[in-house]
């Protein structure tokens, strides 16, 4: 006997015993992800069938219960409250995981580094740091990720032009909540990031890092391997490399010309008599990662 659970039928007992074996015998025919039980596989299949799809962001959930929980990420609703510290959570699962913090229990330890976790699923995800396992594969570019959330972020930012996060100040749209969070500081004039070497303050971390590098020589440069040029941000180096590699992501919709940088593209577009500013903005947005 492996646990104290009891079942009405032998078939249900046999299905339950599969969870103790640790083997994942049931494979998804669409993404090759594997599961311990047929029930888990059936729930996972809903992700591909889009049966439970979020109308806000398009994410597909395994069940209606998961969809309800997911919708709270958009509404901000947090109906589950911790009785110890009054912190609130969107799902009972999140509350249960949080409650272990107050008990001090860390039941699952990593055999490689000794780090302890309150849930076995957290340990499973952590083990990928040591094994290098990346089971979540993008079907559009074959890039793989260790977490499903990282895969979803990748698909939204790289393979989709959808920008669900709108700025209430100017209407500009962004692909991620984090990008929107950084942007709104422009409208508030807030500068929460201060330099520890001088009194200067900055609205974004990237501006602070660039300041530390150029003013205090603290940090490191991104160096081009084709020429001696150096850049304070990896994004600037990436755009610069297009000049060497012949990449031309900016395409004029008025003539066949292509351009490797947004600056040159904008300069070219004004040469057309029927210059359409909104069309230029759409093209530039499509090339922002």
CATH code of residue 149 = 3.30.160.60
Task: Say yes or no: 31 and 96 in one domain.
Answer: no
Task: Say yes or no: 74 and 126 in one domain.
Answer: yes
Q: For the chain, give the number of residues.
A: 289
Task: Say yes or no: 151 and 110 in one domain.
Answer: yes
How many independent structural domains does the chain possess? 4
Task: Say yes or no: 17 and 55 in one domain.
Answer: no
Task: Say yes or no: 56 and 154 in one domain.
Answer: yes
Task: Say yes or no: 92 and 147 in one domain.
Answer: yes
Q: In a 3-state reduction of DSSP, which class is residue 154?
A: helix
Task: Say yes or no: 131 and 186 in one domain.
Answer: no
Task: Say yes or no: 76 and 143 in one domain.
Answer: yes
Task: Say yes or no: 79 and 125 in one domain.
Answer: yes
Q: What ranges make up the beta strands (E) of 196-257?
A: 201-202, 222-223, 230-231, 250-251
Task: Say yes or no: 191 and 243 in one domain.
Answer: no
Task: Say yes or no: 57 and 135 in one domain.
Answer: yes
Q: In a 3-state reduction of DSSP, which class is residue 83?
A: coil
CB 52 within 8 A of CB 64: yes
Expressed as residue numbers, the domain containing 30 is 1-49
Taking the complete model, does pTM exceed 0.85, yes or no?
A: no
Task: Say yes or no: 45 and 60 in one domain.
Answer: no
**Cβ partners under 8 Å of residue 20, min gap 6:** 2, 3
Per-residue pLDDT of the chain (289 residues; tens, 9 = 90+): 567 777 777 777 776 776 666 566 678 877 767 777 777 777 777 777 767 888 777 777 778 888 888 888 888 888 888 888 888 888 887 887 777 767 766 667 888 887 777 677 778 888 888 888 888 888 877 788 888 878 877 887 777 777 778 888 788 888 777 788 878 877 887 888 888 888 888 888 878 888 888 888 877 777 888 888 887 777 778 878 877 777 677 788 778 887 777 777 777 777 775 555 555 555 555 554 4
**Of 158, 180, 208, which residue sits at a domain end?**
158
């Amino acid at each position: 006997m492996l646990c104290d659970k009891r079942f009405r039928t032998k078939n249900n007992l046999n299905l339950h015993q599969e969870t103790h074996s640790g083997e994942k015998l049931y494979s998804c025919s669409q993404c090759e992800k594997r599961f311990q039980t047929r029930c888990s596989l059936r729930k996972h299949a809903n992700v591909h069938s889009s049966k439970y799809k979020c109308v806000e962001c398009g994410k597909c959930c395994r069940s209606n219960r998961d969809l309800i929980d997911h919708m709270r990420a958009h509404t901000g609703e947090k109906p589950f409250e911790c009785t110890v510290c009054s912190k609130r959570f969107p799902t009972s699962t999140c509350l249960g995981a949080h409650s272990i913090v107050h008990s001090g229990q860390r039941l699952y330890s990593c055999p490689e580094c000794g780090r302890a976790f309150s849930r076995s699923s957290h340990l499973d995800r952590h083990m990928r740091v040591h094994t290098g396992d990346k089971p979540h594969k993008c079907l559009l570019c074959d890039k793989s990720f260790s977490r499903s959330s990282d895969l979803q972020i990748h698909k939204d930012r790289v393979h989709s032009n959808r920008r669900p996060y709108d700025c209430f100040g100017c209407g500009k749209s962004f692909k991620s909540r984090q990008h929107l969070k950084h942007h709104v500081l422009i409208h508030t004039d807030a500068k929460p990031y201060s330099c520890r070497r001088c009194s200067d303050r900055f609205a974004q971390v990237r501006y602070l890092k660039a300041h530390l590098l150029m003013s205090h020589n603290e940090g490191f440069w991104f160096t081009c391997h084709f020429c001696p040029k150096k850049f304070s941000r990896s994004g600037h180096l990436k755009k610069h490399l297009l000049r060497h590699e012949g990449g031309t992501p900016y395409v004029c919709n008025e003539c066949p010309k292509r351009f490797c940088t947004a600056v040159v593209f904008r300069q070219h577009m004004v040469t057309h008599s029927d210059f359409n500013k909104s069309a230029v903005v759409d093209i530039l947005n499509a090339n922002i990662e």
